Amino acid sequence: MIHSIYTRLVLAFIAVVLASTFITFTIVGTLYREEGWRYLQSDIRDTGKQVIELYSLREKINFDEFLQKLARLNNVRISLHSADGVVKSYQDPEVDAIEPLNPQMVESVLGGNEYSGKNQLDQSEIPENTVVGLPFFNEGERYAVFVQPIPGRELRGMNKILIVTLLFVLLIGSLLILMVARYLVKPITSLTEATKRLAKGDYQIDLQMKRRDELGNLTENFSMMAKQLEQIEKMRSDFVNNVSHEMQSPLTSIRGFSKALLEDTDPVDPKYRFAEIIYNESTRLSRLCANLLQLASLESKHHPFKKVPYYLDEQIRQTVVALEPQWSQKNLDVHVDLPWLQIEADLDQLSQVWMNLITNSIKFSKPAGAIWIRMTTKDGSVTVSLEDQGSGIAKEDLPHIFDRFYKGDKSRERVKSGSGLGLSIAKKIIEIHGGQITVQSTLDKGTVFNVTLPLPPRGQKLDQ
């Protein structure tokens, strides 16, 4: 699955989003860290000034309670230092105790100097180590107020909001990425399906795509290529059809005259052998032309096709009986397992399929071998299997076994070879009936052809 363009696009987009988010936070954190420190120091400095202003009013209000509430409200730690060493601290009781301050820093502020920076006892880069110290005098006494921020509930809440926001951004972004990726990959998927149809000989391809990008141009060029291939295929088919028609008449004459020569020539005369060769070759060429014409007719989609109900098992048995002289000559055992079954199909066309396949099995079977013909039904279809113990088909030849004129080097020697069109014709007839034909073979062990045909719906009555 990860090898598909769709998956790669989605993963690439998600990786870009995650990387962009991480890089953005890193850059923003670096650029605005100092500004954040300055803002924090300014904020706690204002809190310290409020403490100084309110200190003179301590007699009129509950000063300790007020500072405790102020510290809790502003999420800070407040400590008051007097010149005689008295220290009062105010902070939210739910947080950790205040960190001790550097004595030298305290003395410096009591001496009238302001301090803004980090606690000199702890130089770690965290906000709660920021300290602002302000000096003030009251009734002739020197005092110092120190304010430190603490991580409060608001900060934790903002972190949660930020994390949830980022998760929603990632989720929504991923969904949008899925939609965009599907939109980008859809024309490629359509082209892939069209390519498969084209490889099977279906040139009726019309890809409707209103895009003006590279994929749109590729689709348009693909449709043009399919139309050109269709024209070329039609020209080829017409050429083969015309040539076959033109060759039939002279071949018929040659075969007739050569047969007359055979009848009037003494078999011991060398001319008899020559006439026999002429007769056999003209017969082979005539059969080749007939097969070419039939194949062209089947591919033209105008071939006569008439479905009639009949018994498939009886048809196959009759074909086996008709070919008895051939399999008896090679001393073959033919085992037939054909249960009673009625189908609806073109009787003549399927008869040629069984004739071609069984003839093939006989031709390439070893003497004194065996052929098995079985028939099974499953899920609304019937499968006829023809198995032999012949020379088999090489693995590299299997993908091409149904191509016209294709002949494997080991399974189809010259002395056994036919026109090379029998399996092509059989495959085309099976496909016209809505079925399929497959082959499994092991070299020097044998071959199995499986023909699967659809059965009429259950309950449909077939009239014989």
Average pLDDT (391-414) is 70
- Domain assignment present for 348: yes
Q: How far apart are CA 387 and CA 442, in angstroms?
A: 11
| CATH code, domain with 423 | 3.30.565.10
- 119 and 256 in a single domain? The answer is no
Q: In what order do the strands lie in the sheet with 436-442?
A: 333-337, 370-378, 381-388, 446-454, 436-442
- Domain assignment present for 427: yes
The predicted pLDDT at position 259 comes to 82
The predicted pLDDT at position 444 comes to 83
Check the CA dihedral 113-116-119-122 and report its sign.
negative
Q: How far apart are CA 139 and CA 155, in angstroms?
A: 39
Residue 100's contacts (CB-CB under 8 Å, 6 or more residues apart) are: 121
Average pLDDT (162-177) is 74
Summarize the chain as % helix, strand, coil (round to 5).
55, 15, 30
Bigger pLDDT: 374 vs 178: 374
- Domain assignment present for 366: yes
pLDDT at 462 over 90: no
Q: How far apart are CA 118 and CA 127, in angstroms?
A: 9
pLDDT at 415 over 70: no
**For the chain, percent of residues with pLDDT exceeding 90:** 14
Q: Which of 145-154, 334-343, 452-461 has the highest mean pLDDT?
A: 334-343
pLDDT, averaged across the chain? 77
- 139 and 39 in a single domain? The answer is yes
- 145 and 14 in a single domain? The answer is yes
- Domain assignment present for 172: no
Average pLDDT (96-121) is 78
The predicted pLDDT at position 191 comes to 81
Q: How far apart are CA 386 and CA 410, in angstroms?
A: 20
**Boundary (domain end) residue, out of 136, 155, 174:** 155
- 326 and 424 in a single domain? The answer is yes
- 278 and 142 in a single domain? The answer is no
The predicted pLDDT at position 376 comes to 93
**Residue in the block written with tokens 């399996």:** 423
205 vs 159, 192, 195, CA distance in Å? 56, 12, 9
- 45 and 133 in a single domain? The answer is yes
Q: How far apart are CA 385 and CA 372, in angstroms?
A: 8
Residue type, 6: Y
Average pLDDT (427-452) is 89
Categorize the per-residue pLDDT at 410 as very low, low, confident or very high, splitting at 50, 70 and 90: very low
Per the document, the length of the chain is: 464
Phi, psi of 374 (to 5 degrees): -125, 155
Q: How far apart are CA 317 and CA 373, in angstroms?
A: 10
- 72 and 140 in a single domain? The answer is yes
- Domain assignment present for 259: yes
Q: What pTM did the predictor assign? A: 0.50
Burial of 316: CB neighbours in 10 Å, binned 0-12, 13-18, 19+: buried
Q: How far apart are CA 34 and CA 11, in angstroms?
A: 36
Across the strands, what pairs with 88? Answer: 80
Bigger pLDDT: 397 vs 53: 397
The predicted pLDDT at position 1 comes to 46
**Number of structural domains the chain divides into:** 3
Query: 370-378 and 333-337 as β-strands: parallel, antiparallel, unpaired?
Result: parallel
- 49 and 121 in a single domain? The answer is yes
pLDDT at 265 over 70: yes
| CATH code, domain with 276 | 1.10.287
pLDDT at 147 over 80: yes
Which range has the worst mean pLDDT, 115-124, 267-276, 372-381, 432-441? 115-124
* pLDDT tens digits along 430-439: 988 889 999 9
- 449 and 404 in a single domain? The answer is yes
pLDDT at 455 over 80: yes
- Domain assignment present for 175: no
**Boundary (domain end) residue, out of 138, 155, 172:** 155
The predicted pLDDT at position 63 comes to 64
Categorize the per-residue pLDDT at 416 as very low, low, confident or very high, splitting at 50, 70 and 90: very low
Residue 408's contacts (CB-CB under 8 Å, 6 or more residues apart) are: 393, 394, 397, 401
Query: Residue 106: which domain range?
Result: 5-155
Which range has the worst mean pLDDT, 151-160, 206-215, 271-280? 151-160
Per-residue tokens: 361: 């099995």
Average pLDDT (112-121) is 77
- Domain assignment present for 167: no
Categorize the per-residue pLDDT at 162 as very low, low, confident or very high, splitting at 50, 70 and 90: low
| CATH code, domain with 149 | 3.30.450
pLDDT at 453 over 90: yes
- Are the C-beta atoms of 424 and 409 separated by less than 8 Å? no
- 365 and 394 in a single domain? The answer is yes
- 330 and 278 in a single domain? The answer is no
Average pLDDT (328-336) is 91
- 14 and 148 in a single domain? The answer is yes
- Domain assignment present for 354: yes
